[in-house]
Amino acid sequence: MSDFFNNAIAAIKTTISARAPFGSSTGHRNAQRSNAATEVISSSLETFTPAAMIPTKLAQVAISTYSFFRSDTHISEKAMHLLQAGISAAQMGLAITMLFESAQCSSYDSNDLCKAVFLCQLLYRGTLLTGWIPSEFSKDTYTSADNSNNSAQAQV
């Protein structure tokens, strides 16, 4: 019976140690940078009118959706982009609702719509920081086979 547990523990240790360390793809990092830039623009425009946020939120939905379908992004990155696209779409929907209701949020506790806008902002910025900062520190490594293929293609 102890051999069963010893073999199981050895198999688990081998599986865990065989995993590659987390690395981020170039497509993911570029998408996160683009989303961060549009978030800065959105934050500055929302002080004027909520309708000004709609184009930037649409851009974030498009960037994250495109990144979700890219073939070079990892599964964890695809999950992050799917989450970001959903939150951005919700933010865009709330901005459109505020436009049609002529609502302005002077404080985030004034009504339920303003609370929802504030909550979505917090969630989006949290996912942006969670997805972007670690990816800058854990870039995918380049293998020598990739480098030799690139240099061979450059010579042709």
pLDDT in tens, the chain (156 residues): 677 878 877 777 665 554 455 678 888 899 999 999 999 998 888 877 778 899 999 999 999 999 999 998 888 899 999 999 999 999 999 999 999 988 888 777 778 888 999 999 999 999 999 888 888 887 766 555 555 555 545 555
Assess if residue 31 is contained within a domain: yes
Residue 3 belongs to a domain? no
Q: Where do we find the tokens 């495109």? A: 66
What is the rounded distance in angstroms from the CA atom of residue 109 to the CA atom of residue 150?
Answer: 56
**What separation, in Å, do the N-terminal and C-terminal C-alpha atoms of the chain show?**
62
Count the domains in the chain: 1
For tokens 């709609």, the residue is: 54
Q: Is residue 32 part of a domain?
A: yes
Question: Residue 54 domain-assigned?
Answer: yes
Q: Structure tokens of 44?
A: 């500055």
For residue 83, being part of any structural domain is answered with yes
- Residue 29: domain span: 23-133
Beta-carbon contacts of residue 14 (< 8 Å; ≥ 6 apart) = none
Beta bridge partners of 139: 24
Alpha-carbon span 79 to 94, nearest angstrom: 23
Quick check: is 123 in a domain?
Answer: yes
Q: Does 44 reside within a domain?
A: yes
The pTM assigned to this predicted structure is 0.74
Task: Examine residue 152 and state whether it is found in any structural domain, yes or no.
Answer: no
